[in-house]
Amino acid sequence: MNITGQDLILACSAIGAGLAVIAGIGPGIGQGIAAGHGAAAVGRNPGAQGQIMSTMLLGQAVAETTGLYGLLIAMLLLFVKPLVG
Amino acid sequence: MNNAVLLASADDIDFMIHGLFSYELFGQTVWITTSHVCIAIVMMVLIILAIIANRKMAKATEVPDTLQNVIEIVVEFLDGIVKGSMGWSAPKFRNYIGTIFLFILLSNISGIFGLRPPTADYGTTFALGVITFSLIHINQFRYNSLKQIWTDMCSPLPPWLPIWLPINLISEIAVPISLSLRLFANVLSGTVMMALVYGLLKAIAYVWPAALHVYFDLFSGAIQTYVFCMLTMTYISQQMGEEPIKQQN
């Protein structure tokens, strides 16, 4: 079986995609911290649950962005294949 | 180039955008894609709902019945979130925010009805991001003096030392890009995941994908809709500042 240059690029793209989604670790930790502090805040002040919830979700969604950039890079490598000439 | 290399040679996985037909416009080939059709369907549903709601509210009663109740809940919810995060400028923006909220929400949950969500196309979300960007800057120039804008742009350093100006400009330009990419990537990840489930696990994909639909389409879609509208409102109301003391009506 011959491995052409294009095959090599595809294989390396797949590895690169796998590495790119490691970016998901950061948002995971960040969202967990946000959720933990949100739970603590509700415990201290149950009356403000609605506002705490929306603030927490907003912060988590913003924190999620970096992970989604990693996902996008993986998608680009796998499906758009910018490196294959 | 075939996709079989990358998708474990399962060839009925399909979550791409397809062109339906193309035409020439000023020497450019313009494609009408499945996203356009899905947007048209979403907007048709919205328009029909709006007409029904309008008919219903034209003969509204003191004690609301079912449909009137639902309409009132939706409108009060939208007004509530706009009021909560925009304060005095809420009346100016609740039409726009309500519209994009309903549009993005319906687009995101259209995955349940078998459509490919239009928001999983970067064209759609980038257009929404550009609208937000224009609104932010139109209101920035309307409610701030040029001197104030310059001071904001040079912000951590004094205005006569514009070293931070390029960095602040980049962060302004990053706003619509990150807004649109966030929505796009969230919806796209759900779409890809569902396509993989239905494509690769075709033999056993009965009933239980419903739970995934609830998460990816309903929960994630609703959260992202809320986040997009919240961020739009936050950015706009940041530029509008405090309530003007002397209201000219």
Structure ipTM: 0.83
What residues make up the domain containing B138? Answer: 70-248
A64-83 pLDDT, tens per residue?
A: 888 999 999 998 888 888 88
Domain count, chain B: 1
Average pLDDT of the residues in B10-34: 79
A61, A75, A79 member nearest B223 (Cβ): A61
Residue B225 belongs to some domain of the structure: yes
**B227–A81: do the CB atoms touch at under 8 Å?**
no
B194-240 pLDDT, tens per residue?
A: 888 888 887 887 888 888 889 888 998 998 999 999 899 988 988 88
B88-97, long-range: CB < 8 A, 24+ apart: B88/B243, B89/B236, B89/B237, B89/B240, B93/B233, B93/B236, B96/B135, B97/B229, B97/B232, B97/B233
B5, B182, B231 member nearest A68 (Cβ): B182
Residue B86 belongs to some domain of the structure: yes
B175 touches A: beta carbon within 8 Å? no
From chain A, pick out residues whose CB is under 8 angstroms from the CB of B178: 65
Alpha carbon of residue B222 to chain centroid:
10
A57, A79, A81 member nearest B227 (Cβ): A57
Residue B5, pLDDT above cutoff 60: no
Take residue A5 and report the two structure tokens written for it: 């240059």
Give the least confident one: A17-21, A24-28, B45-49, B109-113: B109-113
pTM, two decimal places: 0.85
